[in-house]
Amino acid sequence: MATAALKKTALNSVSQISSANIPNNRIVTLDEFILRSEKDFDYATGELTGLLRDIGVAAKIINREVNKAGLVNILGMADSGENQSGDTQQKLDVYANERLIECLQNSGECCAIASEENDNIIHVPPVTSKPSHYVVMFDPLDGSSNIDVNMSVGTIFAIYRRKSDPSGPATIDDFLQTGTKQVAAGYVLYGTSTMLVYTTGRGVNGFTLDPSIGEFCLSHRNMRIPENSQTYSVNQGYYSKFDLEMRRYIDNCSDQNYGLRYIGSMVSDVHRILIQGGIFLYPSTRKYPKGKLRLLYECNPLAMLIEQAGGKAMNTQLKRILEVTPHDLHQRCTIAIGSPTMVDELKAFIERYSALPL
Ligand code: P6P
């Protein structure tokens, strides 16, 4: 069998990072984990490793500012958004966006970036003569409106291999790829502790920031979502505006005394579901008939991660999120994501009550 085919077979046959390669009797930092994981497949290049490490650095910088957010007034930031020395106080999502772009530009491991904060793609000039083969998409600070009330927020990222000729600039088609083409996806949750959770298609692993050493440390190995649960997560305030099938499903959750948990920060709600099980729903509403959440840098990365942990993610037309065809960088979509049994249960309700041809 040709070398490439052997390596592809190796990749397919290893569903998770081989635990033999990761020590379990001492601290394992994100950097060490990424480097050891790369060694799982000798064909891997250092680029993806570099990108994941760049995101880890940006996350630490963002975390420092997010944690200070509550001190803005104490630190004397004027209402005008300027501090006493006249420095302009940036909105945290703008700050997070700029730090992520800087960290990725400094290493030059990607050729272009797309962000929730920017209308168009951002080209990244090569730092060395070596052309880059990856593009990165992110929502720099999802749920940032929660910061003022000290609720957790998150960064969501997705990494793709470029399709365009590496000798030329990236194109929009490098970004308009289905979620199944993601080579890595993950999020950073700035909560009671700061966690980075990611997948490269070989299982899901979680790292908790230890502020005393400034390192993300492996804390959740090979994360698996509970098969079922009795918790659902939806903005109940829109109930009367949901389609019939969604209202019937929510009625069923209530009839079965399921618990409702909704933080209003997708990363936080999905992280809770990854740990404890449940289903997160953002169906179409009058204000967002196509759904509110963005396909490319919110739904796709979280869908890859939840599927890698054994869960499911579909839109309310029953299409697997990772197979939805993107047409626009900032395309919105509906989503139901979480424990496989609960997503299947919702699918049955939609098939039974939907007036629309699916
Ligand atoms: P709503 C935050 O603004 C966000 O984009 C997601 O993080 C969150 O799940 C959703 O919107 C909340 O939206 O309409 O319930 O306030």
Q: What is the pLDDT of residues 197-228, one digit of tens each?
A: 999 999 999 999 999 999 999 999 999 999 99
Give residue 83's pLDDT band: very low, low, confident or very high (50, 70, 90). Answer: very low
Per the structure block, which two tokens stand in for 140? 């720099």
Contacts of 105 (CB under 8 A, 6+ apart): 124, 125
Residues 142, 243, 245, 269: which is the catalytic one?
142
Residue identifier of the C-alpha nearest atom 10 of ligand 1:
264
CA distances from 301 to 69, 82, 173, 255, 318 (A): 27, 35, 18, 32, 18
Domains and CATH numbers, the chain: 2-220 (3.30.540.10), 231-353 (3.40.190.80)
Bridging pattern class, strands 134-142 and 112-115: parallel
Determine the number of helices (DSSP H) and then strands (DSSP E) in the chain. Answer: 8, 15
Out of 30, 51, 52, 141, pick the active-site residue. 141
Known catalytic residue at 31: no
262 CA distance to ligand 1 middle (Å) = 10
Q: Whose CA is nearest to atom 4 of ligand 1?
A: 143
Rounded Cα gap, residues 243 and 284, in angstroms: 8
> For the residues 226-232, what does the mean pLDDT come to?
98
For this structure, is 141 an active site residue? yes
pLDDT band for position 279 (50/70/90)? very high
Q: Among the atoms of ligand 1, which is closest to the Cα of residue 268?
A: 7
Classified as helix, coil or strand, 187 is strand
Residue of the CA atom closest to atom 5 of ligand 1: 143
What's the gap in Å between 266 CA and the centre of ligand 1? 6
Q: Supply φ then ψ for residue 185, to 5 degrees.
A: -155, 155
Q: Output 46 or 61, whichever has higher pLDDT.
A: 61
On the question of pLDDT at 74 being above 50, the answer is: no
Q: Which residue ranges have their beta carbon within 6 Å of ligand 1? A: 142-143, 145, 235, 264-266, 292
What is the C-alpha separation between 168 and 270, in angstroms, rounded? 37
Which secondary-structure segment (H or E) carries 106?
Answer: helix 92-107
Instruction: Record the pTM.
Output: 0.90
Task: Write down the pLDDT at residue 142.
Answer: 93
d(C-alpha 332, C-alpha 285), whole Å: 12
Q: Which residues pair with 115 in a beta bridge?
A: 138
What confidence score (pLDDT) does residue 9 get?
41
Question: How far apart, in whole angstroms, are the C-alpha atoms of residue 180 and residue 303?
Answer: 10
Report the pLDDT value the prediction gives residue 174, as an integer from 0 to 100: 98
Mean pLDDT of 61-87: 62
pLDDT of residue 107: 82
pLDDT bin (cut points 50, 70, 90) of residue 15 is low
pLDDT (tens digit per residue) in 94-131: 899 999 999 999 887 899 999 999 999 999 988 877 88
Q: Where are the alpha helices (DSSP H) in 180-323?
A: 244-255, 266-276, 300-308
Least confident interval from 5-9, 196-200, 205-209, 348-352: 5-9
Nearest-angstrom CA–CA distance, 317 and 300: 16
pLDDT band, residue 148 (cuts 50/70/90): confident
